[in-house]
Amino acid sequence: MSGYIPTIGLEVHCELKTETKLFCSCRNTFGSEPNTNTCPVCAGHPGVLPVINRKAVEYTVKAGSAIGCRISRYSKWDRKNYFYPDLPKAWQTSQYDLPLCIGGEVKIKVNGEEKTIRLNRIHLEEDAGKLVHGAGTTAVDYNRCGVPLMECVTEPDMHSADEAVAFLEELASIFRFAGVSDCRMQEGSIRADVNLSLSKPGEPLGTRTETKNLNSFRSVRRAIEAEIRRQTEVLESGGKIVQETRRFDDATGEGYGMRSKEDAQDYRYFPEPDLMPVVLSDDDIARICADLPELAGKRRQRYTSELGLSEYDAEQLTSDPALADLFDGAVSAGANAKKAANYVMSEIMRKGKTAGEDGIVVGISGLQLAQLLELVDKGEINLVTSRDVLNKIWLTDMSAGAAVDALGLRQNNDAGEIEKLVRDIVAANPGPAADYRNGNEKVLSFFVGQLMKATKGKTNPKIAGDLIRKVLSE
């Protein structure tokens, strides 16, 4: 159309799901009352000393390993100086020249085509507080200030909104499976900055702009599309792109310039004297990464090639590590892969998803699911009644079988078979049968007992009673 090719690089910020903040022992939780998870360290009081959270370093190393980064053997922190009330110290403790992870790559698939997006680095820094703008003043909440944040910087390897969103989705999936971040957009635990420039084929890259702080995949897509349109219009009308930092307004769908980059961006990085460097040996790294689970990409491959599932199914099952773990657990407990997949994608997803929330709650184990599916398979319960069983065992360790008994749902569907058993029992017990026919209702329970004994209790008592009455009344 216009002949311009967009070139896109991303800076992705992911909050780590540690219990505490990066440099102090305040809780790292979302949704607390303002400023309740704060202390003199994260509130930037003078004279305090930060101490690094071991787990935050380990999680970043895990995340880096999961995408093939080189893990630095020597890493340190630096002060990035700027004045803005979201950081009370007037600097952000970040990593400048010696980040924890270097390089790495993420494979994405867009329109059936596979592509590799290279990473430049991942560094570990502290998150900033939250500003709530009111009329005339701004209120500051430092609960988020000091929360461990990984900044993942890509190379400019993406050329469309589709590729950028596919990259973000894959990166979020990898970090979720690695167990280091929830990557919940709703809670701001993953956010992205978009660097974008346009160029004609074969020509050097144009001037880039940076759109900051996009907090949903949808905003990333819309911001990229809007910025491509804007830059195209500027260039087509003979104008020049100004290097600047921009914001994207979700309500209007428009971006706008913030401040000119030239004089504002002088961060005067210098080494953080209050924190000691981190030195990692090969053994340290091996130990940290020892429990790194199988990631989504590998599982998808296994699901399609070994278990014969469709690509769509494989994708659905790996949309959340808890779902994939449930599915794998059920299959290794003996469930049929296709049936387990269908059940997870329908009943479990329906039950575990809460509208408007990113995550999914999985309230049963793989073994419980396998048992449940076996009962359905044997016809002892059907798919409709299986929902009652699911409700009963959800968030408990009760077996599906015990739930079926507790709910009285276990059914022998073969009325012909039951009736035949009843006839045998009646024929073998002419005395009690005669008693019943003479009006003694009480012997009915004797026949029910005989039937239960013969079927090991697997007959629905109501069906049994009805059939016994029918046969005895003939």
Partner 1 sequence: MEITKDIIKHTAKLSRINFTDEEEAALEKHFASVLGWVETLNEFDASSVPATAHILDTVNVFREDVPGEPFGREKLLSCAPERDENSYIVPKVVE
* 18 in contact with partner 1 (CB under 8 A): yes
Cβ 30 to partner 1 shortest distance, Å: 15
Q: How far apart are the first and last CA of the chain?
A: 85
Which residue in 112, 113, 251, 263 binds partner 1 (CB under 8 A)? 263
* 102 in contact with partner 1 (CB under 8 A): no
Name 464's Cβ contacts closer than 8 Å, sequence gap at least 6. 418, 422, 448, 451, 452
* 275 in contact with partner 1 (CB under 8 A): yes
Structure tokens at 171: 């990166």
* CA–CA gap between residue 89 and residue 146 (Å, rounded): 11
Cβ 215 to partner 1 shortest distance, Å: 16
Q: Which stretch binds partner 1 (CB under 8 A): 24-32, 151-159, 194-202, 215-223?
A: 24-32
* 115 in contact with partner 1 (CB under 8 A): no
Q: What is the DSSP letter of 96?
A: S
* Positions in 201-260 near partner 1 (CB under 8 A): 247, 258-259
Contact, 196 vs 341, CB < 8 A? no
For partner 1, the closer of residues 41 and 341 by Cβ is 41
For partner 1, the closer of residues 49 and 290 by Cβ is 49
* 74 in contact with partner 1 (CB under 8 A): yes
Structure tokens at 80: 């990035």
* 287 in contact with partner 1 (CB under 8 A): no
Contact, 375 vs 401, CB < 8 A? yes
* 395 in contact with partner 1 (CB under 8 A): no
CB-based burial label for 71 (10 Å; 0-12, 13-18, 19+): buried
* CA–CA gap between residue 16 and residue 100 (Å, rounded): 14
Contact, 243 vs 261, CB < 8 A? yes
Which residue in 126, 127, 141, 163 binds partner 1 (CB under 8 A)? 141
* 283 in contact with partner 1 (CB under 8 A): no
* CA–CA gap between residue 253 and residue 239 (Å, rounded): 22
Residue count at the site for partner 1 (CB under 8 A)?
55
Looking up tokens 């059907």 gives 382
* 181 in contact with partner 1 (CB under 8 A): no
Which residue in 3, 68, 277, 334 binds partner 1 (CB under 8 A)? 277
Q: Which stretch binds partner 1 (CB under 8 A): 138-146, 171-179, 226-234, 235-243?
A: 138-146
* 266 in contact with partner 1 (CB under 8 A): yes
* CA–CA gap between residue 237 and residue 63 (Å, rounded): 44
* 53 in contact with partner 1 (CB under 8 A): yes
61: helix, strand or coil = helix
Contact, 16 vs 148, CB < 8 A? yes
For partner 1, the closer of residues 34 and 297 by Cβ is 34
For partner 1, the closer of residues 133 and 442 by Cβ is 133
For partner 1, the closer of residues 136 and 238 by Cβ is 136
* 386 in contact with partner 1 (CB under 8 A): no
Cα dist from 80 to 15, 48, 455, whole Å: 19, 18, 75
For partner 1, the closer of residues 53 and 173 by Cβ is 53
Which residue in 68, 70, 107, 138 binds partner 1 (CB under 8 A)? 138
User: Which amino acid is it at 177?
Assistant: F
* CA–CA gap between residue 76 and residue 64 (Å, rounded): 16
Binding site for partner 1 (CB under 8 A): 18-20, 24-27, 33-40, 43, 45, 51-57, 74, 76, 81, 83-85, 98, 131-134, 136-142, 247, 258-259, 263, 266, 268, 271, 273, 275-279
